[in-house]
Chain A
Amino acid sequence: MSPERCTRGEDREAFLLELRRILPAEALLSDAEDLRPFECDALSAYTVLPWIAVLPATVGQVQAVLRLCHSHGVPVVARGAGTGLSGGALPVADGVLLSLAKFNRILEVDPANRMARVQPGVRNLAISEAAARFGLYYAPDPSSQVACTIGGNVAENSGGVHCLKYGLTVHNVLQVTLLTIEGDLLTLGSLGLDGPGYDLLAVVNGSEGLLGVIVEVVVKLLPLPETARTLLAAFDGIEAAGDAVAGVIGAGLLPAGLEMMDKLTLRATEEFVHAGYPVDAAAIVLCEMDGMAEQVEAEIARARQVLAAHGALEVRESRDEAERRKFWAGRKAAFPAVGRIAADYYCIDGTIPRKRLAQVLGRIGELSEQYGLAVGNVFHAGDGNLHPLILYDASLPGELERAEALGEDILTFCVEVGGTVTGEHGVGVEKLNPMCVQFSAPALRQFHALKEAFDDKGLLNPGKAVPTLARCAEFGHVHVHGGRLRHSELERF
């Protein structure tokens, strides 16, 4: 699509002229060359060149941009660091791409109240770095934490290794200041542990930029744990490893991290980072305990027993901080490591009830054979959050489509066993079809009604996160599971 004219009939030059009145020249990008860096997020299979990109530096400027867009009916897509994996920050061709990159200041760290007030473009890890001198940190730790922004984390309700014990972004954010598409500034939540009125803060977490533009976030900080120790357990079957994970939780333990890797991923990472992993194992489980020294000691001993009782071939315990880091180095580098052994990979993100781990991993193995594409598994096992990596080669005709079809089958199976189509990466543009599998038409209608309460013209991040009913009807038509038509209540074409 030509970026020259907005499909809504808006004249680009005239609109730029109006934007120039509210933004300094360097905050406004309109040449194709300047727009190129914004054409996709980390899901690079989808690209769209934005109509115009803006990089405001003050809340007043964001407000003015939003008011202008609202009055002209121009769509707006907010963007943090662009590390999203579901195309959430994918531009729309007739809309403004609003980068929050200049909002990168930590406004305040308040150790007495254990909170930090930050701008949305602050990197996740930067918050913990700033809090460290007070003995505090910010718990949610997506693997992308060196790059991703807190605004993006709130919009995606991001999680990470720590989330089993310390919760997701939604559990660690106290207050969000939001601009509506009409330019109204709203404060949701409070500096206490709850806010007045409806819990709209909960709704904004994970709303994928559809409800407003986040301009300030107050996060909760936690005391840095006195000690952390990690167990590395090797298993001769992936199912046994899955059962061991359920066993740890069932024993009443709440690890600070409970992660799993299969053989394929294990070997790829070992070659890449030399973490000393037992490469002959079919799977490994990493189990970390943190807290007071005496507590960690007691919990590690208990976890060791449980893992052994579930048939672990070997359980290693980190002897010092260096070894603990080494255990994690492989897990943290798993994605790039797999990237080295395949031309391309496609990362899925489903969540399932923990006790189904073994069953779902078995099914993924079958599907992998059926499609003739290798699948590596590395995931937040304690949360039941899977990240199967489908290996493919985009240069071979039809392989991308096969990878996508395999991914969709995996997600559908996740829903069938009582899970969900996305645990942390969001729906974006990627999982619109699987959303039709998970939600009924009336539920989707309720999502749209809620969206309208915030954004009646539907200008914020249009076409993302919630599929239209028409799309689902069309998708349902081609997508028949087990001979049964899903959602027969939907009108079909």
Chain B
Amino acid sequence: MYALVDAVSFYASAEKVFDPSIRNKPVVVLTNNDGCICAVCPIARRLGIPKFKPYFQIKYFLEKHGVVVRSSNYELYADLSERMMNVIARYCDNQYIYSIDESFLEFKNYGNLIGDWHKYGHEIRKAIWKETRLPVGVGFGTTPTLAKAANHAAKKLTGFNGVAVIDSNQTSRPILKRMSVTDVWGIGNRLGKKLNLLGINTADQLMQQSAKEMRRQFSVVVERTVNELNGITCLSWDEVRAPKQEIFSTRSFGQRITDHQALMFALVTHGSIVGRKLRQQHSLVKRLMIFASSSPHENQYYKKSIVYEFPVATDSSSQIASAISIVLQDIFQIGVYFYRCGVGAISLESQQYQQPDFFTPSQPSPLIMNCFDKINQRYGQGAVTLASEGRAEKWQMRRSLLSPQYTSRWRDIPKISC
């Protein structure tokens, strides 16, 4: 048996944990730079607020309905996610954290230890709510894809109170019949449209297809999905757990940038983020893409991207910064109003299998970057930076509606009236 536990509109729910004054109010959370709505709490959903709508287009509507609007508070979400995952981990010896708010559990060799999956699901929900004040849905299924489907039912379909169990054909069909084919894990919108042309509109119809035929017409991924819907497990943790093949950090600026130094600061900051992510997953970068552009909505659109290849793959932020300063003279152009820039590690190597040779120039000590990361973890990102990241605020993320960092900064801890 597999389970998928995930939070109900996690970002919006996280905003309510330490702010009881908005518990019963509609809450939405905005993406980076306060651009779009990325999370809508169930109360706000009843007002018919769509996800991924640009904020400025809907601002008046939100004000009129007294909707609480917040910027993304990643520091808070990361802490609450960790707490939630730790509580979930108590319920199974094999947990796979799939994303910030989703966690798979695999119950292997449990025999009849758990008699009633419904009851177990409600126990998990209750514990997470009590200890973290986050609402979750729990879906059980005989394969990961069916667990995902059960989770969909638990949260989105009527008649399920946050828990759904698929343990046989009898329990799966009624749920799959009520799910559109694009609600199935791994079936995106584009694939969904093609399936619709074949008359496959519901998850149940997809389940009834011949797996081999689906492989012939589409891909091995769809074949596996059909098998999984039929209760044949095809996915394993290791496949989904593979480290990322590319790491990007990119963002548009709050204001346009026209000077060389400000663009340098912004690019190096992105480079520094890429470096940190590389070190986290124990990868090294061989090829780095560095790019900057003006806004595509303006006249004389300018875009330049350069790929820099390191003689020896690295994970050092300072080496990434040197690479950026080398290519910057080719990217920067006087008179261009830069709107967007970014850095991407496009060809990665594993740190574990590096084989330097005698002629390899010596690498900076990993101890320095290790210490750098530890200081920033302890005192908050940006506590120490490379000098070439500068202190410019212009390009930094706009988060004008940010809530306090209740659990990670002393000055932000919740106030309790006595």
Question: Is chain B a partner of chain A in the same complex?
Answer: no
